Chains A and B, each alone.
Chain A
C-alpha cells in the first residue's frame, strides 16, 4: 500500500467537511463516554459499562416498536428504563439470590441482549432498517449523511445527539461533583452523610445507559465499551487528582478519535474499530511510560536505586579499608566482586570514577576527598543505626549489621541528626569502632 500517498490524502480528507464531522462526532461520543467512565473505573465497575451497553438493547427494541420510528426521545426513555432495570436485576440477583456479582452481571446483560435480538427480529416489520452489525461497529462513515438543523446550521444528527449527551454529562458531573466523588471514594461515608450511595449509583447507571444509546448509532457498542473504560484507565495511570484524571481522559478520548480516524483512512478500514485500537495503544503507552505508575519508569526507578546502593557500598567499603590503616588498597576487580559483581558493579564503579569520588592509580582504588566525605556519612549512618538498635531496641550484636547495611542508604541528614541526639553523642559503635563525625 502506498502509505506516503495515503497519508498525504488523509490531511486533505481531514479538512473536508465530511471528515471533520466524523472526527467531531467521534470526539463528542468519546468524551461523553470517558467522562462517566471515570467513575465506573474508579468504582471498579468498568464492566457495568460493558453490561449496560448491551442490556439496553431490549429497551431500544421496545421503544422502536412502539414509536415506530427512529426518534431519539422514545429511544432514550427505553434505554434508561432498560438500564435501570438491569442495574436493579444485577444488584438483586447478587444480594437476594446470592449469585456472585460478576456472574449476575453476565447473566443479566446476556439475557437482556438475547431478548433484544429476538424482539428486533420478531417485532420490527421487514423493510425497516435495523442493522445488527451496526450495533457492533457503528456507521461512523455515514454520519454526515443524516443531518438536522441546529442553531441555523446543518449538522449531522449523530453529532447533535452525542454532543447533547456530552453536555448533559458535563452538567451532571459538575452539579454533583462532590457527591459523585465522595460516593465513589467512600460510599459508606457518603451514605452516613445523607448522600445515598444507592441513589447516586442508579443515577450514574442511567447516565451510562443514555450515553451508550446516544453513541450506538454513530459508533457502535464496541467503541462505547472501549471509551467508557480505556481513556479513564489511561488517565488513572497519569493523574493523581480526580479533576486532572477527567481532563486527561478527555484528552485521551479526543486523541484516540483523531488518531483512529487518520489510521482508518490510511488503512481504509472500519473507523470505530481503529479508534478503539488507537485508544488501546495509548493505554499501552501509558502502561509503559507513565511517569509514576508506568512499567518502564518503575524499572528505571528501581535500577536507579540499585545503582545508588551499589555505588554507596563501594564507597563505604573503600572507607573501611582505609580505616584499617594498612597501606593495602583494593583492586577494581576485587572491589566489584565484593559488592556482588556483574554489570551493576561495573557501571557503579565507572560512575564513581567519572564523578571523581574514586581515583584509580594502576590497579589500586583510592577515595578522593569528596568520595571520602560521602563515605564517611554512610559509615556514620551505618554505625549510628547499629548503636541505636543495640542500645534502644536491645538487639544482640550479631543481628545489627544486616539491617544497618540495608538502611544506611536511606538515612538522610535529619534522621542522622535525630539518631545522634537520641544516642547522646556516642563516639563508638557497639563493635567498638569509631563513629566518624
Chain B
C-alpha cells in the first residue's frame, strides 16, 4: 500500500518511535519518573495477551489498546499502594512491574497453548521486539501516535513545563497537577506500548530515557531540550535500524542511543566531563600561576624598585607548593616571558612585574573587602577567589584602592596602569 520496502518501513517506524519516545520521555526524565516507562512496558503484557485472546488477531491497534489498559491499571495500583501503605514508590514500581509481567507470562503460556495456536507466535515479539513483522497498518498507528504525542505536548506546553520544573509550585498555583501528570504519563504509556513490538519490553525503557538524558547534556532550555530529544530519538531509531543487519534490531537501536549518550556525557560543550575537567584544570593552573607571581612580588616588595632574584627555597617557604609543580610553573612562566630563570634563581621580567602587580592588587582588594565588608579575620581571608574582584561594584573598587594607597600597600604599577580589571582575566581565558 505504501509501496515501501520492509527495511524502509522499519527505518521510518523506528525513527517515528524514537522521536515520539524522546519527546514524551523527556518529561519522564525531568519528573524523575524514568523507570515508570520500564514498569509500563512490563505491565502491558497481560493486556496484550487478553486483547489477543479476545480479538484473536495480532493487529497492532487492538493489542495496543489492551496494553494501554493494563499499563494504566498498573500505574493506578502503584499510586494507590504508595498512598495507602508504607510501601515506598520504588518498591511499588518493582512490584507492579514484576507482578504484571509474571501474570503476562502466565497468560502468554495459556494463549500460546490454546486453540489460537500459530497466530500467537508473534506475541512473543512483544517481549523481545521483532520489527521484521511490521506491516503498513502498524506504520499508520505509529504515525498516529507520534502526531498525537506531539499535539499533546504543543497543547499543554506551558503546563507540562511548569509541572515538570516545579511540581509543588504548580500545585500552589492551582494547576490540576494530578491530571497533568497523568496526561504526561499517558503520553509515555502510548509511546511505550507502540514501541514494544519494535524494541521489546526491557529495552523500551532505554528509548524513553536515553534521548531526554542525552539532550539534557547539551542544553538548559526547555524548548530546545524537547526538540533535541525528539531529533536524537529519531536519529537513534533510524541509524540503529540501519546498523542492525545481522544483529537483533532492538539492542542495536539501544546501543546506538547509548553511544550517543556516552559521547554527550564526555564531549558536550559545557556539561560534558571533558569540558569540565579541562576548565577546572585550566582554572587551577591560572590560580597557581598567579600565586607564583604574587609570591615573587611580595618577596621583592621590601626592595622596590630593585628586582632581586628569588630562589626556589624562598618561594617554597613563602607559599607551599609541590616542588615539581613549582618547577613546572616557573618554566611555563619563563616561556611566557614573565620571569627569567638562571639556575636556582627566578627574576621577574618587566612584563612579569606588571602582571604580578596586577595580581597582587586584585588579591589585596579582595582581602580588604573580606575584612572590612564581610568581617573576616585578616589571616583567614580567601586565598583562591582571585577572580572575585570583578564582582565588586566600581565605587567599592575605588574605595578599596584608595585605602590600599593610604596604607602604602597599593602595588606601584597599578597606579600607573589604570585599573582595567578585565585584562588579566581575559588573558587567562584566551589561552
B93 in contact with A110 (CB, 8 Å): no
A236 in contact with B86 (CB, 8 Å): yes
* B250 interface contact, C-beta 8 A: yes
What is the CA–CA distance of A230 and B96 in the complex, to the nearest angstrom?
A: 9
Q: Which residues of A contact B128 (CB under 8 A)?
A: 132
The chain A residue sitting closest to B214, CB to CB, is A107
Q: Which residues of A contact B265 (CB under 8 A)?
A: 93, 97, 99
- Using a Cβ cutoff of 8 Å, how many contacts connect chains A and B? 197
* B340 interface contact, C-beta 8 A: no
Q: Please give me the 7 A-B residue pairs with the lowest Cβ-Cβ distance, nearest first.
A: A276-B102, A280-B99, A273-B105, A110-B206, A226-B98, A114-B251, A229-B94
What is the CA–CA distance of A264 and B37 in the complex, to the nearest angstrom?
A: 29
Pick from B32, B94, B254, B273: contact of A97, CB below 8 A. B273
Q: Using CB atoms and an 8 Å cutoff, list the residues of chain A in contact with chain B.
A: 41, 44-47, 49-50, 54, 93, 96-100, 102-107, 110-111, 113-115, 117-118, 121-122, 132-133, 136-137, 222-223, 225-226, 228-230, 232-233, 236-237, 264, 267-270, 272-277, 279-280, 283, 287, 290, 293-295, 298
What is the CA–CA distance of A132 and B250 in the complex, to the nearest angstrom?
A: 14
What is the CA–CA distance of A132 and B130 in the complex, to the nearest angstrom?
A: 13
B93 in contact with A47 (CB, 8 Å): yes
A273 in contact with B102 (CB, 8 Å): yes
Binds A, one of B106-114, B225-233, B410-418: B106-114
Q: Which residues of A contact B110 (CB under 8 A)?
A: 267, 269
A270 in contact with B105 (CB, 8 Å): yes
Q: Which residues of A contact B254 (CB under 8 A)?
A: 110-111, 113-114
* B373 interface contact, C-beta 8 A: no
Residues A277 and B90 in contact in the complex (CB < 8 Å), given A110-B203, A110-B254, A117-B251:
no
B104 in contact with A50 (CB, 8 Å): no
Pick from B206, B251, B273: contact of A106, CB below 8 A. B206
Q: Which residues of B contact A93 (CB under 8 A)?
A: 265
B232-267 vs A, CB cutoff 8 Å, 1 = contact: the mask equals 000000000000000110111011001001000100
Interface of A is mostly: helix
The chain A residue sitting closest to B212, CB to CB, is A103
Pick from A280, A293, A294: contact of B98, CB below 8 A. A280
What is the CA–CA distance of A229 and B124 in the complex, to the nearest angstrom?
A: 25
* B202 interface contact, C-beta 8 A: yes
B203 in contact with A106 (CB, 8 Å): no
Q: Which residues of B contact A102 (CB under 8 A)?
A: 32-35
Q: How close is A369's CB to chain B, nearest CB, in angstroms? A: 43
Q: Can you list 19 A-B pairs with a CB-CB distance of less than 8 A? A: A106-B38, A106-B206, A106-B209, A110-B210, A110-B258, A111-B206, A111-B254, A114-B203, A114-B251, A114-B252, A118-B248, A121-B247, A121-B251, A136-B127, A222-B102, A223-B102, A233-B91, A273-B109, A290-B85
Q: Which residues of B contact A99 (CB under 8 A)?
A: 213, 216, 265
The chain A residue sitting closest to B259, CB to CB, is A111
The chain B residue sitting closest to A225, CB to CB, is B98
Interface of B is mostly: helix
Residues A273 and B103 in contact in the complex (CB < 8 Å), given A44-B90, A114-B254:
yes
Residues A277 and B103 in contact in the complex (CB < 8 Å), given A107-B210, A114-B254:
yes
Q: How close is B106's CB to chain A, nearest CB, in angstroms? A: 4
Q: How close is B31's CB to chain A, nearest CB, in angstroms? A: 9
* B187 interface contact, C-beta 8 A: no
What is the CA–CA distance of A222 and B254 in the complex, to the nearest angstrom?
A: 21
* B88 interface contact, C-beta 8 A: yes
What is the CA–CA distance of A226 and B43 in the complex, to the nearest angstrom?
A: 13
Q: How close is B277's CB to chain A, nearest CB, in angstroms? A: 10
Q: Which residues of A contact B87 (CB under 8 A)?
A: 233, 236-237, 287
Q: Which residues of A contact B348 (CB under 8 A)?
A: none
What is the CA–CA distance of A273 and B100 in the complex, to the nearest angstrom?
A: 9
Q: Which residues of B contact A105 (CB under 8 A)?
A: 34-35
Q: Which residues of A contact B95 (CB under 8 A)?
A: 226, 229-230, 233, 280, 283
Q: How close is B344's CB to chain A, nearest CB, in angstroms? A: 41
* B29 interface contact, C-beta 8 A: yes
B247 in contact with A110 (CB, 8 Å): no
Residues A133 and B124 in contact in the complex (CB < 8 Å), given A110-B206, A279-B99:
yes
The chain A residue sitting closest to B264, CB to CB, is A97
Q: Which residues of A contact B258 (CB under 8 A)?
A: 107, 110-111, 114-115
A103 in contact with B86 (CB, 8 Å): no
Pick from B34, B124, B247, B271: contact of A103, CB below 8 A. B34
Pick from A98, A111, A118: contact of B247, CB below 8 A. A118
The chain B residue sitting closest to A48, CB to CB, is B90
A107 in contact with B213 (CB, 8 Å): yes
What is the CA–CA distance of A44 and B94 in the complex, to the nearest angstrom?
A: 11
Residues A274 and B34 in contact in the complex (CB < 8 Å), given A225-B97, A233-B91:
no
* B217 interface contact, C-beta 8 A: yes
* B366 interface contact, C-beta 8 A: no
Q: Which residues of A contact B216 (CB under 8 A)?
A: 99
B93 in contact with A46 (CB, 8 Å): yes
Interface residues of B in 117-137 (CB under 8 A from A): 124, 127-128
Pick from B86, B106, B209: contact of A237, CB below 8 A. B86
Q: How close is B373's CB to chain A, nearest CB, in angstroms? A: 34
Q: How close is B109's CB to chain A, nearest CB, in angstroms? A: 4
Pick from A47, A100, A279, A290: contact of B90, CB below 8 A. A47
Q: Which residues of B contact A272 (CB under 8 A)?
A: 102, 105
A103 in contact with B273 (CB, 8 Å): no
A276 in contact with B203 (CB, 8 Å): no
What is the CA–CA distance of A340 and B252 in the complex, to the nearest angstrom?
A: 66
What is the CA–CA distance of A236 and B102 in the complex, to the nearest angstrom?
A: 22
Q: Which residues of B contact A275 (CB under 8 A)?
A: 102
Q: Which residues of A contact B92 (CB under 8 A)?
A: 233
What is the CA–CA distance of A96 and B265 in the complex, to the nearest angstrom?
A: 10
What is the CA–CA distance of A100 and B164 in the complex, to the nearest angstrom?
A: 13
Question: For B87, B97, B203, which residue has the most chain A Cβ atoms within 10 angstroms?
Answer: B87
Q: How close is A116's CB to chain B, nearest CB, in angstroms? A: 8
Q: How close is A332's CB to chain B, nearest CB, in angstroms? A: 36
The chain A residue sitting closest to B216, CB to CB, is A99
What is the CA–CA distance of A272 and B102 in the complex, to the nearest angstrom?
A: 7
Q: A44-B88, A46-B88 are in contact. List 16 more A-B contacts (CB 8 A).
A: A49-B94, A50-B35, A50-B98, A100-B32, A107-B258, A110-B210, A229-B91, A230-B94, A269-B106, A269-B109, A273-B103, A274-B106, A276-B98, A276-B99, A276-B102, A283-B99
